[in-house]
Every structure is written in C-alpha cells, then in structure tokens.
Amino acid sequence: METIKSKFENITEQLNQINPGIQVIAVTKQVGNERTQEAVDAGIIHLGENRPAGLLQKREAIHASVDWHFIGNLQTRKVKDIINEIDFLHSLDRLSLAKEIQKRAEKAVRCFVQVNVSGEESKSGVPAEEAVEFVRSLADFDKIQVIGLMTMAPISEDEGLIRQVFSGLKKLQMEIAEKAWDHAPCTECSMGMSGDYIIAAEEGASYVRIGTALVGTESEVEG
C-alpha cells in the first residue's frame, strides 16, 4: 500500500521540478485524526480544513507545530470561533467578512482573497473584474494582511479551460502585487487540488491544496 509519506514525496518531487519552493497543504476534511497524524509524521507542515468544526476538532487532536489553513466558505457568525486558531485564511471574499475579522482577530491574519475567475455562478469568490478594487478596499483593516489570491478551477476535462483560470488568477495576483500596497503584498497564489495541481504549479501556484490524492478519503468521515 502506498503510504501518505510516499505520496507526499512523489507529489513534492513532481512539484519541485516545476516550481521549487511550492507549498503543499494536505486537505484533511475527509479523513480522521489518525490519517492526519500520519500526514504530519510524514513531514507535512500545512493542514487545511473547510469547516469550522472540523478545523477545531483536528486542532485539538493533532499536537504538532503545523500551519492551519482554513480553505472553505466562512460564515460571518463563525469567524469568532476560528479566526484566532488559524494561520491562513483562503476564502476572504466579502467586506462583511473583513469587518468581522477586524472585530474578532487578536492579530493580523494572513489572508488570500478568493476570486471567482471562472465566473461560474455556483462558485464563491469576488468576481475577477472587482478583485483589484476589493483588495484596495481592505487597506482600512489592520487585522487583514492580503498575502495572495485563491481560486478553484471548474470541474472539467478541458485542460485548456482549467489552465486559463489559473493563469487568470496569476495575472491578477501580479497586477495587485505591483501596486505594492502595504496591506497587500499579494505575492502568493493558492490554486490546484488533486486533479489539477500540476497545471496549477505550471501556471504559478505557490500553495496547492491536496486532499484525495494525498491523504485519501474515509467514507465514515463527513465530507
């Protein structure tokens, strides 16, 4: 059986050939504590969860010096539960959320602004054409540090389409970085999941978020 450690090594080797220094976030939302611990023991230092309850539960169970990434939609009323428990937020997508973070965070939070590059109605995120203005408007919030942008590609067999979405995010990220705003260095791109992380790396991802292909899924754990 292929272990998490060997999968991690294979993925890291693949990614490093494309873009050395790229960071792998193990998305553990579909696995229990045991596999999460196995991931940590394999040398993984970034863990991602998409629900507040899941994040808090894993944080409680896993004793290791890792960075905790919140990658899911964050309801405003849940901000207070997790904002001081995470190291990175990948889903900042509206002003009301920024205001609540400003109110609840004890120190500046490293955030990715989520952008809906594909324009699919089902996807959350700031529309691409509003992203620059949205990031500009975050200057008023000293508890928010915009370190980059995040997106999700459409579920599609069309590699060209996926590539277009990732390159669109990279372009926006560089456009914002060039402005050199104090509150928004915006040097990072969080993009790529199990099915498309290679394409994401080729298009300039600095963080990939990998669940199924790295830690697998356990049916008894809620997705």
Ligand X SMILES: *Cc1c(COP(=O)(O)O)cnc(C)c1O
Instruction: Write out the residues near ligand X by the rule CB under 6 A.
Output: 27, 29, 50, 71-72, 152, 193-195, 209-213
Question: Smallest distance from the beta carbon of 40 to ligand X, in angstroms?
Answer: 17
Please identify, using beta-carbon distances, which residue of 106 and 157 lies nearer to ligand X. 157
Tokens linked to 160: 């060209």
- The residue of the chain with the least Cβ separation from ligand X equals 211
Please identify, using beta-carbon distances, which residue of 72 and 204 lies nearer to ligand X. 72
Question: Smallest distance from the beta carbon of 215 to ligand X, in angstroms?
Answer: 8
- List beta partners, residue 149: 113, 189
Please identify, using beta-carbon distances, which residue of 139 and 217 lies nearer to ligand X. 217
Question: Smallest distance from the beta carbon of 181 to ligand X, in angstroms?
Answer: 25
Question: Smallest distance from the beta carbon of 136 to ligand X, in angstroms?
Answer: 25
Tokens linked to 85: 């428990």
Please identify, using beta-carbon distances, which residue of 72 and 168 lies nearer to ligand X. 72
